[in-house]
Amino acid sequence: MKFFIDTANLEQIKEAQDLGVLDGVTTNPSLMAKEGITGHQNIIDHYVKICKIVDGDVSAEVISTDFKGMIKEGEALSKLHPQIVVKIPMILEGVKAIKYFSNKSIKTNCTLVFSVGQALIAAKAGATYVSPFIGRLDDVSTDGLNLISEIVTVYENYGFKTQILAASIRHTMHIIDCAKIGADVMTGPLSSIKGLLKHPLTDIGLEKFLADFKKGN
Ligand code: G3P
């Protein structure tokens, strides 16, 4: 399972990279705005900064909603750095754009996916990644994990190469459940990743080991 961090915060990206388990970064316009990154050039510069911190794929989202605009933006984004993946929304024009980039071997991340049908068409168009938003489904009383499970089944049925990127992860258990189901990638906040290594018995055990060592010295 690949671990992506879902933030535009450079300190958190660096902390995750230093942990040694990071495979990439996802961002979106909301995450950029949260860090106070506004304006076209500042956002572009920020993507390059992120690429310089991490080794893996960095999703950069287009703002256009028409085919021509997405192509223009996506081509410019992909030229910024070899690690850039063009993030495209699951809309009709977006599907065409994903197909266009797929034909050119430019990596894409199909975002804002909330149904199996959307995931199926993203795979047919040749998306590199498909991003089902599990937290936002949970928010509206719909089982986000079930969607991951259904997409796994459909992709396995036909051998689709598109990687399932579980997005809108809100906490550590989401990661564990997605790993059990077989999501290829998860993207979540740093806290959800750090939660994986915590266990009170580890802390108690270590405290005792160190106390016993001191007794003998
Ligand atoms: O990766 C998608 C993510 O940024 C959305 O997360 O928490 O805003 O639903 P959230």
> What's the 39 CA to ligand 1 centre distance in angstroms?
21
Let me know: does 61 contact 29? Beta carbons within 8 Å. Answer: yes
Q: Which of 136, 139, 164, 192 to mutate to test the pocket of ligand 1 (most atoms within 8 A of CB)?
A: 136
* Distance of alpha carbon 209 from alpha carbon 103, whole angstroms: 58
This prediction has a pTM of 0.96
> What's the 27 CA to ligand 1 centre distance in angstroms?
9
pLDDT one-digit tens code per residue, 109-137: 999 999 999 999 999 999 999 999 999 99
> What's the 168 CA to ligand 1 centre distance in angstroms?
4
Radius of gyration of the chain from its Cα atoms, rounded to whole angstroms: 19
Structure tokens, 61: 């989202």
* Distance of alpha carbon 117 from alpha carbon 98, whole angstroms: 16
* Distance of alpha carbon 58 from alpha carbon 28, whole angstroms: 11
Residue 41, class by beta-carbon neighbours within 10 Å (0-12 exposed, 13-18 middle, 19+ buried)? exposed
Position in ligand 1 atom list of the atom nearest CA 135: 9
Comparing CA positions, the residue from 132, 154, 153, 152 lying closest to residue 144 is 132
Position in ligand 1 atom list of the atom nearest CA 168: 6
87 is catalytic: yes
pLDDT one-digit tens code per residue, 65-89: 999 999 999 999 999 999 999 999 9
